[in-house]
Amino acid sequence: MPSRLEQIAQQRLEKLDRIRAAGINPYPHRYHRSHTAREAIALLESLEAGSARQDKVNVAGRIMSHRSMGKSAFMDIRDGSGKIQLLFQNLNQLEEDKLKLFKDLDIGDIIGVEGSVLRTRTGEPTVRVESFTLLAKALRPLPEKWHGLSDVDTRYRQRYLDLISNPETKETFKLRSQVIFAIRQFLNQRGFIEVETPVLQPDAGGALARPFVTHHHALDQDLYLRIATELHLKRLVIGGFDKVYELGRTFRNEGISTKHNPEFTLLESYEAYADYNDVMKMLETMVSGICQQVLGTEEVKFGDDTISFKPPWQRRQLAEVVAEYSGIDFRQSPSADLLRVKMKEKGMEVDPQKNWAQLVDGLLSTYAEPRLVQPTFLVDYPVSMSPLAKTRPGQERVAERFEAFAGGLEIANAFTELNDPVEQRERFKAQLETKKKMAREGAISAEDYGEIETIDEDFLTAMEYGMPPTGGLGVGIDRLVMLLTNQQSIREVILFPQLKEKG
């Protein structure tokens, strides 16, 4: 026996056949819309204020509700700008073919109407319909609880239903668009040039992450989806672009969580003749300015907290913060074995396959990061965690690097970029040996980090031509949008998040 949804779908197909049989095209090519819903409401307000004369509009949208009132009926339609009510009066006076068409309309159908704007006795902005046109017949009904669709899996897998049912979802993504526009505007006004670098790369470089691998058949060569844009952007700095940035998708073949999606939007910028202190000032200025431009305030609500992005943000030493929240000063345990002993003494879970840098990063992400609610720069990282960053003068184990946190999320990472090609080669070699050692011990496989034996020789060659002192920045756009829209999951700010296929 057909399910209820199958029966409804069949009924809609029968309506579609009747509409076509009446000589009506249920999917016309175009429709002239004179006003959006919001513009129609604005016109009504202008009429009421005496600043407009004509009251006729052509509006179009999806039917969201239908209420019969004797010989009249009300509908709500929604377009990209919002919702407006329609009033159909004297249905019994409609021509027979129009009345039949009206009766075959369903919630979810898209229609266009012509009429005059008015305000009902209840104060609702309304269009009194003089004529209407079917623009798209919906063959599937909206979900039973379409108003406020709350099933998370359905919302993510069928984002179009989420957007239809939950206006606040659409507002989240409108704000995301405004944030990205504001970032571009900020950087462009400071003299940065936006560029595009390859998504398919022969070497998975610029970060330590597991890449996605593909194969180019014409070249008979394996390629990797980029895990960072850093090395190509630095090539451009070497080539004479003093201020350069890219804002686009980046891919890492790693875990999925409320903070991680395998493909994410990353901003990377590089400024010649700057260091990480300059980048800190630029980042806090940019984020606070975006808040003002997009939200009208430097304070945002995130969960139970109110976060102020007003500069200056806190600046704290990484080692001091990790020690404060974990009880371990990693500077006193300079090897992985010593650090594991200290962690075990504290009753912490210890992964025997992780190296020293990974253990320190684990202490940071587990104990300190969730406590960093107000915007905070953690500065001066161990060099072993920062193979592309310059060391502090006189402190060979400390790199000029910061990570920015807010709301318990890491939102940015930045370096005073290493520009010594000899030292960079040595750092790459050391990183390579670490990978090989981890592979021998079974901590990673060759597939985890692409071809483990690979070093980007072209990048090193480029550096040998001379790279100016440079400040580099990476900002996770998805996480920044999470903070500005008060969303606790990254899937709420990515239109089509990666999900496991249903079996």
- Ranges of beta strands (E only) in 273-325 are 299-302, 305-308, 314-317
Q: Which two tokens stand for residue 286?
A: 């940019």
SS3 state at 400: strand
- pLDDT for res 452: 44
Report how far residue 61's alpha carbon sits from residue 70's, in angstroms, rounded to the nearest whole number: 24
pLDDT tens by residue, 201-218: 988 887 778 899 999 999
Report how far residue 199's alpha carbon sits from residue 139's, in angstroms, rounded to the nearest whole number: 39
**CA-based nearest residue to 480, from 291, 203, 230, 325:** 291
Sort residue 76 into left (φ over 0), alpha (ψ -120 to 50) or beta: beta
SS3 state at 151: coil
Mode of pairing for the β-strands spanning 125-136 and 82-88: parallel
Q: The whole model's pTM is what? A: 0.92
DSSP letters along 451-490, please?
-TT---HHHHHHHHT----EEEEEEEHHHHHHHHHT-SSG
SS3 state at 104: coil
- pLDDT for res 450: 47
Report how far residue 340's alpha carbon sits from residue 338's, in angstroms, rounded to the nearest whole number: 5
Residue 421 vs residues 5, 348, 388, 405: alpha-carbon distances, Å: 65, 39, 11, 31
Q: How far apart are the first and last CA of the chain?
A: 24
Report how far residue 11's alpha carbon sits from residue 16's, in angstroms, rounded to the nearest whole number: 9
Helix (H) or strand (E) holding 118: strand 110-119
Mode of pairing for the β-strands spanning 299-302 and 395-406: unpaired
Place of tokens 């304070």: 299
Do 25 and 101 touch, CB atoms closer than 8 A? no
Report how far residue 348's alpha carbon sits from residue 57's, in angstroms, rounded to the nearest whole number: 67
Report how far residue 362's alpha carbon sits from residue 350's, in angstroms, rounded to the nearest whole number: 10
Return per-residue pLDDT of the chain as tens, 503 residues: 778 888 999 999 999 999 999 999 999 999 999 999 999 999 999 999 999 889 999 999 999 999 998 899 999 999 999 999 999 998 988 899 999 999 999 999 999 999 999 999 999 999 999 999 999 999 999 887 656 677 888 899 999 999 998 999 999 999 999 999 999 999 999 999 999 999 999 888 877 788 999 999 999 999 999 999 999 999 999 999 999 999 999 999 988 899 999 999 999 999 999 999 999 999 999 999 999 999 999 999 999 999 999 999 999 999 999 999 999 999 999 999 999 999 999 999 898 888 899 999 999 999 999 999 999 999 999 998 888 899 999 888 899 999 999 999 999 999 999 999 999 999 888 877 776 766 666 555 555 554 444 678 999 999 999 999 999 999 999 999 999 999 999 999 999 999 988 86
Quote helix, strand, coil % in the chain, to nearest 5. 40, 25, 35
Q: Phi and psi dihedrals of 75, rounded to 5?
A: -135, 150
pLDDT tens by residue, 242-254: 999 999 999 999 8
**CA-based nearest residue to 408, from 368, 358, 450:** 368
Report how far residue 344's alpha carbon sits from residue 339's, in angstroms, rounded to the nearest whole number: 9
